Amino acid sequence: MPELPEVETIRKGLEPLVGQRVAGLTQLHPGIVKLREFDAGEIIGKPVLGVYRRGKYLVLVFGECRYMVVHMGMSGRLYWSTPGSEPAKHTHFILKTEAGQQLRYEDPRRFGGIWFVRDTEKFFHLLGPEPLGPNFTLEEMYRGLEKRRAPVKSLLLDQSFVAGIGNIYADEILFAAQIHPARPAGSLLKKEVKRLFKAIREVLTRAIEHRGTTFRDYRDGDNHPGRFQDCLSVYSRDGKPCPRCGQLIKKIVVGGRGTHYCPGCQRL
DNA sequence: AGCTCACCCTGGACGC
DNA sequence: TGCGTCCAGGGTGAGC
């Protein structure tokens, strides 16, 4: 499940795309393109001017207000492929470059999608700040949490609160900050919000350094798995000892999501 | 307005 | 062995 660190790793792998011209776009599944604000034909022959990430979204920039936005949902993969090979079973979209390379989008569960948009400001207007960017500050986070009764974990997963955190990193962040995932967000003390803020940045930064987490099927653009799964403290470790205190990791449901935490270090 | 929950989808795990 | 059932989760939107 590509979250911010995985999407960031894929983005780095797509840097060679910049400067290459689009030779063709092939849609293999009717529902995978969610929005077409311009005709795909308008970018044929045009070079990719840039590739950037916003939250869990990847954006290919074509200029003249033309962007291709990709979200990989749970099981989506975006990767370089040799032109001759048969597309894998759930390949839904292929971008061919004039240099003869293919960028393929594969997504068995089809929770992901592709949008051809002209205005990224508008497209992302409900998305919260980048957790590793300058607009995400301790003060703003504190104001966003106060008076909220929802579990703090639900807010970490809320993309309008902060962009890019999914279920794995929410659990890891709360463990690092030593905060129980079900704590009402508004009940956090200032010092706890401080720990949480620090943990968000540290966990995500470390995960990027490890090229993301390969839990089931995540691979980067060059088909390499990530390494952060070896660093997980709580996610999917229920019944195993906490690396900090040795108590057994528990799994509960918070906000409808499977949630892993240490009952020793994360008290309600 | 804030919050919870069902829904979409498929592969893999699990139980009988 | 094989079949059926359940579960995972990101984002959206309905309903309380």
Q: What is the pLDDT of residues A221-243, one digit of tens each?
A: 777 778 787 778 999 888 889 99
Average pLDDT over residues A99-118: 92
- Does strand B come within 7 Å of the CB of A255? yes
Q: What percent of chain A has pLDDT over 70?
A: 99
Q: Which bases in strand C are touched by protein, i.e. have an atom under 7 Å from a CB? A: 7-12
Mean pLDDT over residues A119-124, rounded? 91
Higher pLDDT, A137 or A226: A137
| Percentage of residues in chain A having pLDDT higher than 90 | 70
Q: Which of the pair, A192 or A215, is modelled with greater confidence?
A: A192
- Closest by Cα among A86, A84, A49, A51 to A64: A49
Task: List CB contacts of A25: < 8 A, sequence separation 6 or more.
Answer: A40, A43, A44, A93, A94, A95, A96
- Å: A196 CA to C14 C1': 32
pLDDT for A31: 87
pLDDT at position A120 is 92
Which of A42, A48, A63, A65 lies closest to A103, judged by CA?
A48
pLDDT at residue A172, rounded to an integer:
93
**Residue A69 to residue A50: CA distance in whole angstroms:** 12
CB-strand contact A109/B, under 7 Å: yes
What are the start-end ranges of the H helices in chain A?
Answer: 4-13, 120-123, 138-145, 152-157, 167-177, 190-209
| Residue A217: pLDDT band with limits 50, 70, 90 | low
Q: How confident is the model at residue A79 (pLDDT cuts 50, 70, 90)?
A: confident
What pLDDT sits at residue A204?
94
Q: Residues A100-105: what's their mean pLDDT? A: 92
Task: Answer whether residue A112 shows pLDDT above 70.
Answer: yes
CA/C1' separation A1–B5 (Å): 21
Nearest protein residue to the C1' atom of C9, measured from CA:
A74
Nearest nucleotide (C1') to alpha carbon of A157? C10
Proximity of residue A109 CB to strand C below 7 A: yes
Assign A26 a pLDDT band (cuts: 50, 70, 90). Answer: very high
**CA angle (A80 as vertex; A47, A14 as ends), nearest 5:** 50
Cβ–Cβ under 8 Å, residues A146 and A169 = no
Cβ of A200: how many Cβ atoms within 10 Å?
24
Q: Is the C-beta of residue A111 closer than 7 Å to nucleic acid chain B?
A: yes
pLDDT for position A216: 64
**How sure is the predictor about A199, in pLDDT bands with cuts at 50, 70 and 90?**
very high
Q: Is pLDDT of A52 > 80?
A: yes
Confidence band of A247 (pLDDT split at 50, 70, 90)? very high
In 3D space, the residue among A142, A169, A140, A145 whose CA is nearest the CA of residue A155 turns out to be: A145
> Mean pLDDT over residues A142-158, rounded?
92
The predicted structure's pLDDT at residue A163: 93
H or E element, residue A63: strand A57-63
